[in-house]
């Protein structure tokens, strides 16, 4: 669904400088086509330069003239507030981020009577197993052979709150969770749905141990193994065949390459190369960490 900025006047208080349309909301660095973003500071304008995916901008009157030509512009006193209030409204609009459907469960799936599966907006594929007290919330899509162990939660509201004009605004999560074939999520793990439509994703054959947290917009590749109490923060990306050790924390927006190893307790705050092994807090190359450790002895 595409919406014109001029159609928003009845929803939020804005003035149109240059009208245009958008089909989703996101950050100024968004890689999704036809995106509406907000800009409150001059340095954020750099994210718009050369980004063909941004079609519309909410900004302040002082910054409007600096928005690139060809991008629609609306102004208001508090672009952040208008943006997230608009998002929360559109999240409740069927057909913008998501189109509702009745839940579909393949007849070969085994759902324990004490499991909870939402009545709408869930698809569960062939041969899936959902154990007692597992919870599958709306906007969750499970491929074939997925196993959900007791107490795990799929499709929960994520942690996204914004400080706006002296108060805290909760941001609705309007996307979903998609689990590839043969994914296994063990006991008491939680996977949050995406914020601006789309999916938090786990690739086929990826396995999560107990008490693993996967935040909104995370993308995890195929055949990854995440050990107990690992935490993958929002919008991080893990390639294929990644090993994540017990108690590892991966910071938001970090990219971990194919075949990388994050050793026990690592705190990963910057990108990890394919095949690289990192260790420590903050995590560095494993061999470099051991070399430094020897100097301490």
Q: What is the pairing mode between strands 15-18 and 72-75?
A: antiparallel
Burial class of residue 130 in the structure, from the number of CB atoms within 10 Å of its CB (0-12 exposed, 13-18 middle, 19+ buried): buried
Catalytic residues: 216
| Helices and strands counted in the chain (H then E) | 2, 35
Q: Give the separation between CA 146 and CA 295, rounded to whole angstroms.
A: 47
Q: Please work out, in degrees rounded to the nearest 5, the angle formed at the alpha carbon of residue 247 by the alpha carbons of 243 and 251.
A: 80
Q: What is the pairing mode between strands 72-75 and 54-59?
A: parallel
Q: Which residue, 263, 265, 252, 259, is CA-closest to 285?
A: 263
């Amino acid at each position: 669904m595409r919406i014109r900025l001029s159609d928003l006047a009845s929803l939020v208080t804005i003035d149109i400088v240059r009208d245009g349309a958008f089909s989703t909301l996101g950050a100024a660095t968004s890689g999704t086509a036809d995106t509406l973003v907000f800009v409150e500071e001059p340095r954020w304008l750099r994210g718009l330069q050369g980004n063909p995916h941004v079609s519309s901008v909410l900004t302040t009157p002082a910054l409007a003239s600096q928005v690139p030509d060809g991008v629609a512009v609306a102004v208001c006193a508090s672009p952040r507030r208008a943006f997230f209030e608009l998002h929360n409204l559109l999240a409740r609009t069927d057909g913008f981020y998501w189109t509702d459907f009745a839940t579909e469960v393949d007849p070969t799936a085994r759902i324990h009577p004490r499991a909870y599966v939402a009545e709408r907006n869930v698809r569960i594929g062939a041969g899936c197993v959902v154990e007692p007290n597992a919870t599958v919330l709306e906007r969750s899509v499970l491929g074939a052979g997925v196993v959900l162990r007791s107490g795990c939660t799929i499709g929960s509201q994520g942690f996204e709150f914004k400080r706006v004009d002296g108060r805290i605004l909760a941001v609705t999560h309007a996307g979903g969770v998609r689990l590839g074939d043969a994914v296994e999520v063990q006991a008491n793990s939680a996977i949050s749905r995406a914020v601006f439509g789309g999916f938090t994703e786990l690739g086929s054959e990826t396995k999560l141990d107990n008490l693993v947290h996967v935040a909104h917009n995370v993308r995890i590749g195929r055949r990854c193994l995440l050990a107990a109490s690992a935490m993958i923060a929002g919008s991080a990306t893990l390639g294929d065949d990644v090993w994540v050790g017990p108690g590892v924390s991966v910071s938001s927006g970090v990219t971990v390459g194919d075949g990388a190893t994050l050793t026990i307790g690592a705190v990963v705050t910057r990108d990890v190369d394919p095949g690289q092994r990192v260790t420590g807090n903050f995590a560095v190359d494993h061999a470099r960490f051991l070399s430094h450790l020897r100097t301490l002895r």
